[in-house]
Structure 1
Amino acid sequence: MRVTLDRDLDALTERIIGAAFEVFNTLGQGFVEAVYKKALLCELRERGLDAEHEVPFQIGYKGSNVGTYFADIVVARRVTVELKVADALAQPHKRQVINYLRASGLPVGLLFNFGGSSLTFSRVLP
């Protein structure tokens, strides 16, 4: 069964993806993750999107807080964005985003890899 996003959320993810491509096309490959993260934050804000970085989310277990994860970027309090600089995106990267979605309660995540000769990405649903 294919899960689809509502129209507004789909449009928001498309805007984020467009911003990520602009960052990659401008900077190219070879930088560390922190550079791409700062550039993407700038690009998202320049496009009028509410983008926050290092947003903390508590991980609960049977009513107890057992940890905190920090989202690379959260856009419009609806989309978590995770950046990687790797040879390729792998299942552990996607599982990480799924866990972030479960902890945050956000409806969708975007996983970007700036490490290859072209930008790759994946939409991730909980």
Structure 2
Amino acid sequence: MNYSPVSQPPEAVANEITEKIIGCAIEVHRHLGPGLLESIYEKALCSELEEAGIAFKYQEPVPVVYKGKELGQLRLDLLVEHEVVVELKAVDRTDPLFEAQLLSYMRLCHKNVGLLINFNVRKMTEGIRRFVI
């Protein structure tokens, strides 16, 4: 997928990317349903993104820096099109900790848009939350 910053404002690009990610997540959920491990959904979503020609990085390392000193690294589940941070879950209910985790990842890698996707839901639309900072 090729997005040109000249042709679209950044918000429009992010919206287009999140729509495509959500479409891929719905397709995965349609085929697999709820109740599996997060790692299975992660692999299936990567496969869907690949099929759709959407660029992504899987388990992307992000350094945690404090006052110029690297303290360690965290790993993003997915970074899609260098724009959208995606955090995947397969849990009975989402915890505010998951939201805080996603927002921290977004700040650390300087991204404004993130998706928290929980596959352990009856309808996929119930498991998707979009965050903008």
- TM-score (norm. length: structure 2): 0.87
Secondary structure of residue in 2 paired with 1:87: coil
State whether structure 2 residue 80 is matched by structure 1 residue 75.
yes
Residue 125 of structure 1: CA displacement? 2.1
Q: Deviations over 1:44-88 (max 9, x none)?
A: 110110011000010110011112110001111111111001112
Percent sequence identity is 35
Match of 2:36 in 1: 31
Count, aligned residues: 122
**Where does structure 1 lack aligned partners over 5 or more consecutive residues?**
none
Residue 90 of structure 1: CA displacement? 2.4
Match of 1:96 in 2: 101
Q: Deviations over 1:86-121 (max 9, x none)?
A: 112221111100000111111211000011222211
State whether structure 2 residue 114 is matched by structure 1 residue 123.
no
RMSD between aligned residues: 1.1
- TM-score (norm. length: structure 1): 0.92
Match of 2:5 in 1: none
**Where does structure 2 lack aligned partners over 5 or more consecutive residues?**
1-9
Give 1:11-26 correspondences, 5 Å limit: 11-26=16-31
